[in-house]
Amino acid sequence: MDKELRIIISGGGTGGHIFPAVSIANAVKAKRPDAKILFVGANGRMEMQRVPAAGYEIVGLPVRGLIRPLYSLKNFGVMMDFFKSKSQIKKVIREFNPQVAVGVGGYASAPTLNAAYSLGVPCLIQEQNSYAGVTNKSLAKKAQKICVAYDGMERFFPAERIMLTGNPVRQGLLNPDLKKAECAASFGMTTDKPIVLMIGGSLGARTLNESVLQNLDKIAAAPIQFVWQTGGYYSKSIQEKLKETGKPDNLYVTDFISKMDEAYCAADLVISRAGASSISELCLLGKPSILVPSPNVAEDHQTHNAMALVNRQAALLVKDEEAVEKLLPLAIETVVDTDKLASLGKNALEMAFKDSANIIADEVLKLAEK
C-alpha cells in the first residue's frame, strides 16, 4: 500500500476492551510504523486516560449505555446521545478518512462503526467473550471480518465472516527473563511455600474482597502465601478493617499491581473474575486458576467465559454467591495439590492463542488494502 494508512479503533469502558484495542494498535504500528491510528471512546470512561497513556490520540463521544429497565424514560436521553455521537463521529471520519474501522466492543463502538459503514469504510470487529455483547451482535452484518476468541460463535455472527484469533493481551506478560524467586521477593514472599494471587481488576471486586476479610483466620493458619489486589475503590475501607482485625503475616495487600508479569510469575494459583482478557492471560501463561464470574455483567457473559475453561478441565469455578464460604477453602486445598495444579495449567495452556494481536493486525491491513 503506497498511500498513507489511517485506521480508527473504537471501544472501551473496561480494561477488557482497552487492552485488546491497544494491543491491536501496537501490532499494526509494528508492521506499519507510518500508520496513523485514531481511537474513539466514550466521554468519562477509562479509555480517555488509558489510550493517551499508551501513546495514541483519542476522540470522546457523549454515548452511554442503556438504562435498566429498558422502558425507562431516561433511555430517551440515551438514544439522543447515541444519534448525537453518530453525527459527531461521521464528521471525524470524513476528516480523518480512514481505510478501515475496528470495533472492540463498548459504548463507542456502535455509533463509530455504524457511521463508518454508512460512509463505505470497511469494518472489523473483535469479540473477546464467549457470549457476544449487544454492541458487536448489532454490528455483525456490517463487519467484513469478525475476530473471535472461542469456538461456536456462529450462533451470534455470520459463519463466513468469523475468524478464530483469540484475544490480544497486554504485551510484556511473557517475559522469559523473570525468575520466580525474584518475583516472589518483590511481594515479600519466598518460594518455600505456595503463593495464591487474588485479583479483581483495577477497581476491585467486592465479593473477592469479602471472601478474604471473612476468612482471615483460615489464611493465617494456612502454610500458604497470599498476594491480594483489593482494587482502588475498596482500598481505604479494607486497610481500616485490617487495622482492627490484624493482618496475617502471610498476606500481602495492595490496591493495585503495576507489574502483573511479576505477579503472575510468582503465583502458583490465581483467583480472578472471568473477564475475557483475564482468561486469555491465564491461558497464555498456563496458570492454574479459580474463576469467580461477576454477576453484574451483561447476559452473564463471564460465566460463559469461565465454563469454556471449566469444560476443558482448565480452571475451577466458584459462583459469586458461594464465594465467601467456599473460595478460600478451595484455594487452600488446590494450591498444595501439585498434580491438580499441573493438570489445570497444562489444559489452560492448550487453549491459548499466542499471536492474536499480530493475526488481527494482518486482517486489519488486508481490509485497508482492499
Q: With helix as H, strand as E and coil as C, how does 77-137 read?
A: HHHHHHHHHHHHHHHHHHHHCCCEEEECCCCCHHHHHHHHHHCCCCEEEEECCCCCCHHHH
pLDDT, position 202: 57
Long-range Cβ pairs for the range 302-307 (8 Å, 24+): 302/129, 302/273, 302/274, 302/275, 303/274, 304/129, 304/130, 304/131, 305/129, 305/130, 305/131, 305/274, 305/275, 305/276, 305/279, 306/274, 306/279, 307/130
Q: How far apart, in whole angstroms, are the C-alpha atoms of residue 113 and residue 142?
A: 8
Q: Order of strands, edge to edge, in the sheet holding 57-61? A: 57-61, 36-42, 6-10, 100-103, 123-127, 145-148, 162-164
CA end-to-end distance (rounded Å), the chain: 10
Using CA of residue 154, residue 157, residue 161, residue 162, what is the dihedral sign?
Answer: negative
Q: Which residues contact 215 (CB under 8 A, 6 or more apart)?
A: 324, 327, 328, 329
pLDDT, position 12: 81
How deeply is 347 buried, as exposed, middle or buried, from its count of CB atoms within 10 A (0-12, 13-18, 19+)? Answer: middle
pLDDT, position 1: 47
Pick from 78, 89, 14: which is nearest to 46 by CA?
A: 14
pLDDT in tens, the chain (370 residues): 457 899 999 988 776 788 899 999 999 999 999 999 999 999 988 899 999 999 999 999 998 877 777 677 888 888 898 899 999 999 999 999 999 999 998 889 999 999 999 999 999 999 988 888 888 898 999 999 999 998 899 999 999 999 999 999 876 788 889 999 999 999 999 999 999 999 986 555 889 999 999 999 999 999 999 999 998 888 899 999 999 999 999 999 999 898 999 999 999 999 999 988 899 999 999 999 999 999 887 778 899 999 999 999 999 999 999 999 999 999 999 999 999 999 999 999 999 988 899 999 999 999 999 8
Count the Cβ atoms, other than its own, within 10 Å of residue 338.
10
Long-range Cβ pairs for the range 316-322 (8 Å, 24+): 316/289, 316/290, 316/291, 316/344, 317/290, 317/291, 317/292, 317/293, 318/290, 318/291, 318/292, 319/292, 319/293, 320/207, 320/292, 320/293, 320/294, 320/295, 321/295
pLDDT, position 203: 56
Q: Which residues contact 63 (CB under 8 A, 6 or more apart)?
A: 42, 81, 82, 85, 107, 108, 110, 111
Amino acid identity at 68: R
pLDDT, position 2: 55
Pick from 88, 83, 85: which is nearest to 108 by CA?
A: 85
Cβ–Cβ under 8 Å, residues 368 and 99 = yes
pLDDT, position 201: 65
